[in-house]
């Protein structure tokens, strides 16, 4: 019943199930697996797609011949398993060249190299079938604002996005960009720190229609924000091109935990938002197994992400079909229609009528809402007693 199927569009990055458990305090605990092995692992657990950074697939120092062999082997693995590549991205953070950022680096050579690397990575992604291209500016930030002007940083980011949109148009690629915000880690502060910042930034680009967002649960949670509200704003604006699902305790380091493993209730409202509003992009799990896991446990991690999503999806259907919950919602949203003559699109007549209407303000302030009763029903639904 909770088996992943292609229509669920569950995807993982090579870097997620391939994560070796390195952290700032410790060395890798799991051996490196090749991209081909990881594609087979993803097929075994029932995923639909695989995503990658250029250098997850092709090492940064690979020769053209090595590149061609790696890409051919990877394509064979995709053909053998039926796994597809819906999204690709560029690694603009691991190499020391990017220690001060890529598109916002103070070094014009680094900024140009970042454009070159991204154009090559876009070609690679498109060659493998990607339709969405993610930009996560992990190093686009500062530890001190003494050395970088934040307004210049915005202008440099815009210039890079405009350049790369033109590149995609010039090549005739069927590719859209999805910008991923994060408040910090690995930089002290990262520019365009939240999904809301990204949405505002996109509207200033030359081709805003080509660009949307890739929000990630952990990133808004790291900033102490309501992720579901950010995703809702993106959806309402037609900008939810991709989503990174994982989990994260508020106030902690960047955890990338299994989806739904920490904040089950917010995961429920997120799945409800996506499912009720017909989101039809990838459900991408940008997470990794605990450092204590071996590869059997990595598979349990990946299966767990998908299974929890599907269980929550079933809970959403129950919520929508629950007579008591729906009756409470009807009561909460009851509207006699008495205000319709005054509200909606503005007219001078409506405004005049509204100004002369007498409100019983004390009565307005007396109305309680049964949110406690409703929320307890949600909790009982999630706890499995409804």
Which parts of this chain interact with Mn ion (CB under 5 A)? 216, 244, 286
Give the nearest distance from C-beta 281 to Mn ion in angstroms: 14
When computed from its CA atoms, the radius of gyration of the chain, rounded to whole angstroms, is: 23
Size of the site for ligand GCO (CB under 6 A): 10
d(C-alpha 386, C-alpha 94), whole Å: 48
Residues catalogued as catalytic: 53, 56
Cβ-based nearer residue to ligand GCO, 32 or 358: 32
* Among the listed residues 123, 206, 254, 275, the single contact to ligand GCO using CB under 6 A: 254
Q: Does 180 contact ligand GCO by CB under 6 A?
A: yes
Cβ-based nearer residue to ligand GCO, 160 or 311: 160
Q: Does 244 contact ligand GCO by CB under 6 A?
A: yes
Q: Does 247 contact ligand GCO by CB under 6 A?
A: no
CB 316 within 8 A of CB 272: yes
Give the alpha-carbon dihedral of 229, 233, 236, 237, to 10 degrees: -170
* Residue 361: HSE in the Cβ half-sphere, 13 Å Cα cutoff: 0
Give the nearest distance from C-beta 263 to Mn ion in angstroms: 15
Q: Does 74 contact ligand GCO by CB under 6 A?
A: no
Give the nearest distance from C-beta 86 to ligand GCO in angstroms: 13
Give the nearest distance from C-beta 372 to Mn ion in angstroms: 34
Q: Does 56 contact ligand GCO by CB under 6 A?
A: no
Partnered with residue 189 across adjacent β-strands are 142
Which residues lie below 8 Å from residue 166, measured CB to CB, with a gap of 6+? Answer: 206, 207
Q: Which of 208, 211, 233 is nearest to 220 (CA)?
A: 233
Give which of Mn ion, ligand GCO, none residue 140 binds (C-beta under 5 to 8 Å, depending on kind).
Answer: none
Cβ-based nearer residue to Mn ion, 135 or 268: 135
Cβ-based nearer residue to ligand GCO, 245 or 382: 245
Q: Mapping DSSP to helix (H, G, I), strand (E, B) and coil, where does residue 189 land?
A: strand
d(C-alpha 180, C-alpha 169), whole Å: 21
Q: Judging by beta carbons within 10 Å of its beta carbon (0-12, 13-18, 19+), is residue 181 exposed, middle or buried? A: buried
Give the nearest distance from C-beta 90 to ligand GCO in angstroms: 8
Binding residues for ligand GCO, per CB under 6 A?
89, 134, 136, 138, 180, 182, 216, 244, 254, 286
């Amino acid at each position: 019943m909770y088996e992943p199927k292609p229509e669920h569009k569950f995807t993982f990055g090579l870097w997620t199930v391939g994560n070796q458990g390195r952290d700032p305090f410790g060395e890798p605990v799991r051996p490196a697996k090749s991209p081909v092995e990881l594609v087979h692992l993803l097929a075994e657990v029932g995923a639909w797609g695989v995503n990658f950074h250029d250098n997850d697939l092709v090492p940064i120092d690979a020769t053209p011949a090595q590149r061609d062999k790696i890409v051919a082997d990877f394509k064979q693995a995709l053909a053998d398993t039926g796994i597809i590549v819906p999204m690709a991205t560029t690694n603009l953070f691991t190499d020391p060249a990017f220690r001060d950022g890529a598109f916002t680096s103070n070094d014009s050579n680094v900024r140009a190299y970042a454009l070159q690397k991204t154009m090559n990575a876009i070609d690679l992604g498109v060659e493998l079938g990607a339709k969405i291209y993610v930009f996560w500016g992990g190093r686009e930030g500062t530890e001190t604002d003494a050395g970088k002007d934040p307004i210049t940083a915005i202008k440099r980011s815009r210039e890079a996005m405009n350049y790369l949109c033109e590149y995609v148009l010039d090549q005739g690629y069927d590719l859209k960009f999805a910008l991923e915000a994060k408040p910090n880690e690995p930089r002290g502060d990262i520019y365009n720190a939240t999904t809301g910042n990204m949405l505002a930034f996109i509207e200033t680009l030359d081709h805003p229609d080509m660009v949307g967002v890739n929000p990630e649960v952990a990133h808004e949670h790291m900033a102490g924000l309501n992720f579901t509200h950010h995703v809702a704003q993106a959806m309402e604006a037609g900008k939810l091109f991709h989503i990174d699902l994982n989990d994260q305790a508020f106030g902690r380091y960047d955890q990338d935990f299994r989806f739904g493993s920490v904040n089950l209730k917010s995961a429920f409202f997120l799945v409800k938002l996506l499912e009720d509003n017909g989101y039809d992009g990838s459900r991408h799990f940008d997470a990794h197994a605990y450092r204590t896991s071996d590869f059997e446990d990595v598979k349990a991690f990946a299966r767990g992400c998908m299974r929890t999503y599907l269980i929550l999806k079933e809970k959403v259907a129950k919520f929508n079909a629950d007579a008591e919950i729906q009756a409470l919602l009807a009561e909460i949203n009851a509207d006699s229609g008495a205000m319709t003559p005054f509200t909606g699109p503005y007219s001078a007549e409506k405004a005049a009528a509204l100004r002369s209407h007498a409100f019983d303000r004390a009565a307005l302030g007396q109305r309680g809402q049964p949110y406690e009763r409703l929320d307890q029903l949600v909790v009982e639904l999630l706890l499995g007693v409804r």
